[in-house]
Amino acid sequence: MPQSGLTELDAVLMVARRGKFRAAALELGMSTTALSNAVGKLERTLGIRLFNRTTRSVSLTEAGRNFVAQIAPALQDIHEAMDAARSQQSTPSGVLRINAFPTAAREIFASLVLPFLRAYPQVHIDIVTEGRLIDIVADGFDLGVRSADLVPADMIAIPLGAPRRNVVVGSPAYLKAYGTPMIPQDLSEHVCLRVRLPNGAIYRWPFEKDGRSVHIDVAGALTLDETSLARTAALCSVGLTLTMESDVREDIEAGRLVRVLEDWTPALSPLSLYYPNRRNPTAAFKAFVDFARRSSVTDTEISSKD
pLDDT score recorded for residue 189: 94
pLDDT score recorded for residue 87: 62
Q: State mean pLDDT over 172-181.
A: 96
Burial string for 155-188 (b: 16+ CB within 10 Å, else e) reads: bebbbbbeebebbbbbbeebbeeeeebeebeebe
Q: State mean pLDDT over 262-275.
A: 90
| pLDDT band at 79; cut points 50, 70, 90 | confident
pLDDT score recorded for residue 298: 44
pLDDT score recorded for residue 75: 85
Q: State mean pLDDT over 81-94.
A: 74
Assign a CATH topology to domain 6-86: Arc Repressor Mutant, subunit A (1.10.10)
> Which CATH number is correct for 94-160+269-305, 1.10.3720.10, 3.90.76.10, 3.40.190.10, 3.30.1360.40?
3.40.190.10
Q: Does the domain made of 164-268 have the CATH classification 3.40.190.290? A: yes
Q: Do domains 94-160+269-305 and 164-268 have the same CATH topology?
A: yes
Between residues 257 and 226, the one the model is more confident about? 257
How do residues 3-24 score in pLDDT, each as one tens digit? 456 888 888 888 888 888 888 8
To 10 degrees, what angle do helices 245-254 and 227-235 make?
20
The amino acid at residue 174 is Y
pTM score of the predicted model: 0.63
Mean pLDDT over the full length of the chain: 86
**Dmax of the chain from CA atoms?**
76
pLDDT score recorded for residue 19: 84
The amino acid at residue 81 is A
How do residues 99-151 score in pLDDT, each as one tens digit? 998 888 888 888 899 999 999 999 999 998 887 888 898 888 999 999 888 89
pLDDT score recorded for residue 88: 67
pLDDT score recorded for residue 2: 47
| pLDDT band at 197; cut points 50, 70, 90 | confident
Between residues 110 and 260, the one the model is more confident about? 260
The amino acid at residue 193 is L
How do residues 206-238 score in pLDDT, each as one tens digit? 999 988 899 999 999 899 888 789 999 999 999
In this predicted structure, the answer to whether residue 261 has a pLDDT above a threshold of 80 is: yes
What are the structural domain ranges in the chain? 6-86, 94-160+269-305, 164-268
| Residue 107 vs residues 10, 146, 306: alpha-carbon distances, Å | 32, 11, 19
Distance (Å, whole) CA 306 – CA 302: 7
In this predicted structure, the answer to whether residue 246 has a pLDDT above a threshold of 70 is: yes
In this predicted structure, the answer to whether residue 306 has a pLDDT above a threshold of 60 is: no
Contacts of 230 (CB under 8 A, 6+ apart): 193, 195, 222, 224, 241, 243
